[in-house]
């Protein structure tokens, strides 16, 4: 079975208590302390919790993590954007038009209709 050599490179001061406990479980506790551990999923999980505090050697057999995809450039983002977008003013106008010719009868609509008919006479 493969072995991992883990060295603590940063202090645990200021880290969360759970991270300090993970360091103790890995057999570390002081900067510069090194421990050789078996390459098992449990150990890898503990190391994933404190990667900023330790340095790992001997992980050549482990699958390499894929590099994150580069962020799209401004030109690519502009090409993907829709060519025509409604402005906020247009959206408000559309909403106002819909409310006037709405087939739904609201409680206030009848009162408005009776006021309009009174004004006509």
For each of the domains in the chain, give its residue range(s) and CATH number, in order of start: 3-57 (3.30.1390.20)
The tokens describing 24, both together, are 């103790």
pLDDT for 109 equals: 62
- Number of other residues whose CB lies within 10 A of the CB of residue 47: 18
Q: What is the pLDDT of residue 67?
A: 53
The tokens describing 93, both together, are: 């106008």
Taking only the tens of pLDDT, the chain with its 121 residues reads 799 999 999 999 999 999 999 999 999 999 999 999 999 999 999 999 999 999 999 875 445 455 566 777 767 666 665 655 556 556 556 555 555 556 666 666 665 556 656 655 5
Tell me what pLDDT residue 64 has.
47
pTM: 0.49
């Amino acid at each position: 079975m493969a072995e991992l050599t883990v060295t603590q490179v940063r202090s645990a001061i200021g880290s969360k208590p759970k991270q300090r406990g993970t360091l103790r479980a890995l057999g570390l506790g002081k900067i510069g302390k090194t421990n050789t551990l078996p390459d098992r999923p449990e150990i890898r999980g503990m190391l994933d919790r404190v990667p900023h505090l330790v340095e790992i050697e001997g992980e050549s057999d482990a699958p390499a993590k894929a590099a994150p995809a580069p962020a799209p450039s401004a030109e690519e983002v502009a090409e993907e954007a829709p060519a025509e977008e409604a402005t906020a003013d247009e959206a408000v106008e559309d909403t106002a038009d819909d409310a006037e010719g709405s087939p739904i009868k609201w409680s206030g609509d009848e009162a408005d209709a009776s006021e309009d008919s009174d004004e006509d006479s």
